[in-house]
Amino acid sequence: MAKDTLTITDNRTGKSYEIPVTDGTIRAMDLRQIKTSNDDFGLMSYDPAFVNTASCRSAVTFIDGDKGILRYRGYPIEQLAEQSTFLEVAYLTVKGELPAPSHLNAFVRNITLHTIIHENITKFIDGFHYDAHPMGILVSTVAALSTFYPDAKKIFDAESRKLQTHRLIAKMPTLAAFAYRHSVGMPYAYPDNDLSYTGNFLNMMLKRTELKYRPNPVLERALDVLFILHADHEQNCSANAMRSVGSSHVDPYSAVAAATAALYGPLHGGANEQAVRMLAEIGSVQNVAGYIKRVKAGETRLQGFGHRIYKNYDPRAKIIKQIADEVFAVTGKSPLIDIALELERIALQDEYFISHRLYPNVDFYSGIIYQAMGFPLDMFPVLFAIGRTPGWIAQWQEMLLDPETRIARPRQVYVGSQRRDYVPVAKRSDDTTAAA
Ligand code: ACO
């Protein structure tokens, strides 16, 4: 009979250990008993980027990176993108089940009622430099929300968590749009609660002098689908930041600020901006082959390509590619799309990309659509943050309610100096000290 255990023989001591295997994992703490002597700390695993370490048990999102499968709470992303709305997906992500019609209505109403932000927040948005990156403004303003809602500290009170969830999902688009309006020197456009979640975001972004802004329904739906595609992606860099910072029991606004900061980086949420910059730099279809050569020579990376988890076509990239045609029918075709298609065509039959299993990820096409819809490049990661907010909340809540959760605190392998005695500054010579 096969046993769900792993037998480890420590060749340093000749001793054997039998360790349980559960859900295809061993517990790192089970390694601690493996010691060479009584005063040995015990064996640890070393995994700097969590490449092969599960940090939690989660029921939110399932990904099979080899097969290109993505499901939220069991529902395939393709079905949600085609049939659902962002707020319904937000409900599903946070609460675990699709809502009954009355629950969905109540949820939408609750979110809608919280779209306004305290007027003082506009005052410190005003204080940012005129060319401040809107993602920098978003990180700061969402953190500042915690000072407006001290009740958010009651993280183990289910009612408080529910209220902060509504506030966060409702206010992220308002903060995002206000950050944008500030950067272009336009007056803030206040929420219009007659509009849908996404329609209202477009209103706050794009409204000019008209009395009532009416979003184009094709663009409104396209952006709603893009938000759906970004709602969660299991234990990525920003979700990990949300859980790790949240594990100190800080309020959810501070933890979302940390997650938003993680998303700001070019290897994560900044990649769609980089992808568009890369396509613009390539400039024309004729230059694609030359650019691929540079990538293969290690001079640069193909932005929007490759993924830690997907070793197949990112299912979200497939859906976005389909939306692109609908958006371009309204906005006119982006000149970058032909370059992107040619880049994808050449890369997908090139030995380097095949052997490295590099495929387009969600960021490869999303930036082109955002740009066609009129969003400036530096708003791209901000749009990602709006879509990802329900996922961060779901991951945070799951972490808080998991009885195994303790404050996140990895171990290290110390490689620094051994003990040495302090030398007063006057006695140090130039050649024994590090340059400042
Ligand atoms: N272009 C060219 N080569 C690449 C690329 C790329 N985009 N991505 C990975 N590689 C190569 C690396 O050079 C490396 O090659 P080697 O083994 O011959 O040295 C190999 O593939 C593995 O690369 P890693 O960097 O180790 O892969 P990792 O899993 O750490 O990184 C990442 C994943 C960060 C997404 C990477 O593929 C990348 O930098 N892509 C471009 C940026 C991007 O699109 N990011 C968005 C990710 S999706 C998201 O956050 C929503």
**Residue 430 main-chain phi, psi, to 5 deg:** -60, -40
Report pLDDT for 132.
93
Q: Does 363 qualify as catalytic in the annotation?
A: yes
pLDDT at 207: 96
Residues of the chain with pLDDT > 90, as a percent, come to 88
Q: Please choose from 234, 305, 364 the residue to mutate so as to test ligand 1's pocket, defined by most ligand atoms within 8 A of CB.
A: 305
Cβ atoms within 10 Å of 285's Cβ, excluding its own: 15
409/140 Cα distance (integer angstroms): 25
Residue (of 228, 223, 308, 295) closest to 268 by Cα position: 308
Q: Is the CB of 306 under 6 A from ligand 1?
A: yes
- Outline where 247-348 has alpha helix (H): 252-264, 271-282, 288-296, 315-331, 336-348
> Which run of H or of E encompasses 102?
helix 101-113
The answer to whether 213 and 189 have CB atoms below 8 angstroms apart is yes
How far is Cα 71 from Cα 94, in angstroms, rounded to an integer? 14
pTM for this predicted structure: 0.93
- Residue in this structure with the two tokens 């599903």, named with its chain if needed: 92
- The pLDDT of residue 432 is 64
Task: For 295-343, write each residue's pLDDT tens digit.
Answer: 999 999 999 899 988 888 889 988 998 899 899 999 999 889 999 999 9
Whose tokens are 């349980």? That residue is 20
**Sole residue written with tokens 């599960």:** 54
**What proportion of the chain, given as a percentage, has pLDDT over 70?**
99
How far is 278 from 172, CA to CA, in rounded Å? 28
Classify the C-alpha dihedral 208-209-214-217 as positive or negative.
Answer: negative
Q: Which of 232, 314, 363, 378 is catalytic?
A: 363
Count of H-run helices and E-run strands, the chain: 17, 5
Amino acid 308: pLDDT: 85
Rounded CA gap, 141 and 257, in Å? 8
Question: 30, 103, 268, 350: which one is catalytic?
Answer: 268
In sequence order, the β-bridge partners of residue 20 are: 5
Tell me, in angstroms, the distance from the centre of ligand 1 to residue 252's CA. 31
* 25 DSSP β-pair partners: 22
Mean pLDDT of the chain: 95
Which residue lies with its CA nearest to atom 31 of ligand 1?
308
Of 39-48, 188-197, 219-228, 422-431, least confident by mean pLDDT is 422-431
Mean pLDDT over 169-175 rounds to: 98
CA of 357 to the centre of ligand 1 (A): 10
380, 177 contact by CB (below 8 A): no
Q: Tell the burial category of 136 from Cβ atoms under 10 Å away from its Cβ (0-12, 13-18, 19+).
A: middle
Q: pLDDT confidence of 436, banded at 50, 70, 90? A: low
- Nearest atom in ligand 1 to 298's CA: 13
Which is nearest to 89 in space by CA: 257, 232, 253, 237?
232
Work out the average pLDDT over 166-173.
98
Catalytic residue among 133, 307, 314, 378: 307
Pocket test for ligand 1, best of 47, 307, 311, 350 (most atoms within 8 A of CB): 307
What CA–CA distance (Å, rounded) separates 60 from 73?
5
Q: How far is CA 62 from CA 138, 312, 313, 381, in A?
A: 28, 15, 16, 23
For the four alpha carbons of 211, 216, 219 and 225, in that order, the dihedral sign comes to: positive
Residues 131-142: pLDDT tens digits?
899 999 999 999
At 271, the pLDDT band (50, 70, 90 cuts) reads confident
311 close to ligand 1 (CB < 6 Angstrom)? no
Distance 307 CA to ligand 1 centre (A): 6
Helix (H, G, I), strand (E, B) or coil at 277: helix
Q: Which residues contact 408 (CB under 8 A, 6 or more apart)?
A: 55, 243, 244, 247, 248
Please tell me if the CB atom of residue 134 comes closer than 6 angstroms to any atom of ligand 1: no
pLDDT digits (tens, 9 = 90+) for 179-223: 999 988 999 999 999 999 999 999 999 999 999 999 999 999 999
Put the strands of the sheet holding 75-76 in their side by side order: 61-64, 69-72, 75-76
Cα separation, 250 vs 413, whole angstroms? 28
Residues 349-385: tens digit of each pLDDT = 999 999 999 999 888 889 999 999 999 999 999 999 9
User: Given pLDDT bands bounded at 50, 70 and 90, which one contains residue 435?
Assistant: low
- For the residues 89-116, what does the mean pLDDT come to? 98
Any ligand 1 atom below 6 A from CB of 362: yes
Exposed (0-12), middle (13-18) or buried (19+): which is 257, by Cβ within 10 Å? Answer: buried
- Residue 107 confidence (pLDDT): 98
Contact 94, 390 (CB under 8 A): yes
Of 52-61, 208-217, 424-433, minimum mean pLDDT range: 424-433
Ligand 1 atom 44, closest CA: 304
Is residue 1 scored above 80 in pLDDT? no
**Would you call 64 a catalytic residue per the annotation?**
no
152-176: average pLDDT? 98
Whether the CB of 357 sits within 6 Å of ligand 1: no
Exposure string over 388-426, b if 16+ CB within 10 A, otherwise e: bbbbbbbbbbbbbeeeeeeebeeeeeeeeeeeeeeeeee
Ligand 1 proximity of 363 Cβ (cutoff 6 Å): yes
